[in-house]
Amino acid sequence: MSLSREQVNAINHERASSNRTLRSIAEGLEEHLYVAKPVLDHGFIRVIDYMGNDAAITQAARVSYGKGTKSVQSDEGLIRYLMRHSHSTPFEMCEIKLHVKLPVFVARQWIRHRTANVNEYSARYSILDREFYIPEPDQIHAQSNVNSQGRGGLLDGDEAARVLAILKADSTRCYDNYEAMISQDGQQGLARELARMNLPANVYTQWYWKVDLHNLFHFLKLRADEHAQYEIRVYAQGLCNIVAAWVPFAYKAFEDYQLDAVSLSAQMVEVLRRMLNGEKVDQDTSGLSRREWREFMSVFGES
């Protein structure tokens, strides 16, 4: 990630001046404000603004006149209770606004989360930067044989090198031609809204993205999951750190009851009951499909 001097100055300027407010603050998040946290080779996440903190969750759950905190302990207990029992509306009372720089193919997955507010950099209006995502060598994987929408093992060195060479060359050429088409030097210059169609999906875009905490948790549950594509997962993991600093009780509850939780089908519960009674169960006698049995064993199989 490289920011221009102008951008660095703008960020530093923001961090230099503080204001007095009667609003609640989240101390742990103040120190992250505005700072660009690098993700991938040219991407970043910046926290622009936030509303609420752990206490705001219990305040709303109690429809309080004041802060709504009783004691730190009872607040944490209430937050864990709300999370465990899918009482989602109090978590919607916290809101965060981010500035994110990310490759277009990641943005296309991200935008599928509809309950959020977005302002994207307009390539109709402005010229995109010459920045493309080129994977690190340890992220150049073959198509998976098991999971048809995932990655298998690493490509061997020669093949990986060929891939890298292609990605770099095509990105460069496409951007050179993008610039050539919009240039007004000795020609009229193609409209930007047309020229952008020549740019590949690894070009970086950026947007302001604003979301409430409940919907952010939903995003993180799906995108910090090991089945998510690596390139969006690293953004989700960066966000996990930010959320942990912002609302530590809520984040811990999310980890315990959502992110690291396991959902058992009615059939799996029955299998577990039999196993706890000392019965020896295998796939044949479990009533589970092979795929379900494999998923079940990955959690409860002997190590």
Active-site residue set:
223
Q: Least distance (Å) from a second copy to the CB of residue 250?
A: 15
Which among 75, 73, 40 has a CA at the least distance from the CA of 54?
75
What is the CA 226 to chain-centroid distance, rounded? 12
Interaction of residue 279 with a second copy, rule CB under 8 A: no
- Position 274 contacts a second copy (CB under 8 A): no
What would you report as the CA-atom Rg of the chain, rounded to the nearest whole angstrom? 24
Nearer to a second copy, 278 or 284 (CB): 278
Candidates 90, 223, 246, 286; binder of a second copy (CB under 8 A) is 90
Neighbouring-strand partners of residue 212: 95
Residues 6+ apart with CB under 8 A from 106: 43, 133, 229, 231, 232, 235
The CB-of-26 to a second copy minimum distance in angstroms stands at: 9
Count CB-CB contacts under 10 A for residue 3: 14
Structure letter (DSSP) for residue 132: B
Residue nearer to a second copy on the CB measure, 132 or 238: 132
CB-nearer residue toward a second copy: 198 or 237: 198
- Candidate list 86, 138, 146, 226; residue touching a second copy; CB under 8 A: 86
Subset of residues 202 to 241 that bind a second copy, contact rule: CB under 8 A = 202, 206-208, 210, 212, 222, 227, 229
- Bridge partners of 132, per DSSP, are 203
CB of 133 to a second copy, least distance (A): 7
CA-angle at 73, arms to 71 and 74, nearest 5°: 70
Q: Residue 203 has what DSSP assignment?
A: B
Find the shortest distance in angstroms from Cβ 132 to a second copy: 9
3-state secondary structure of 205: strand
The nearer residue to a second copy, 56 or 239, going by C-beta atoms, is 56
23 DSSP 8-state letter: S
Of 64 and 237, which has the nearer Cβ to a second copy? 64
Q: Which of residues 12-71 bind a second copy (CB under 8 A)?
A: 13-15, 17-25, 30, 33-34, 48-52, 56, 59-61, 63-67
Among residues 136, 157, 261, 294, the one that binds a second copy under rule CB under 8 A: 261
Rounded to whole angstroms, how far apart are CA atoms 201 and 159?
A: 21
Query: How many CB atoms are located within 10 Å of the residue 196 CB?
Result: 21
Site for a second copy in 97-136 (CB under 8 A): 97, 99, 103-105, 108, 111-112, 114-115, 117-122, 124-125, 133, 135
CB atoms under 10 Å from CB of 58, counted, come to: 24
Q: Residue from 180, 244, 245, 297 that binds a second copy (CB under 8 A)?
A: 180
Instruction: Select the span of 167-175, 233-241, 242-250 touching a second copy (CB under 8 A).
Output: 167-175
Segment lying near a second copy (by CB under 8 A), choices 9-17, 233-241, 242-250: 9-17
Strand pairing of 117-120 and 95-103? Answer: unpaired
CA distance 9 to 38: 17
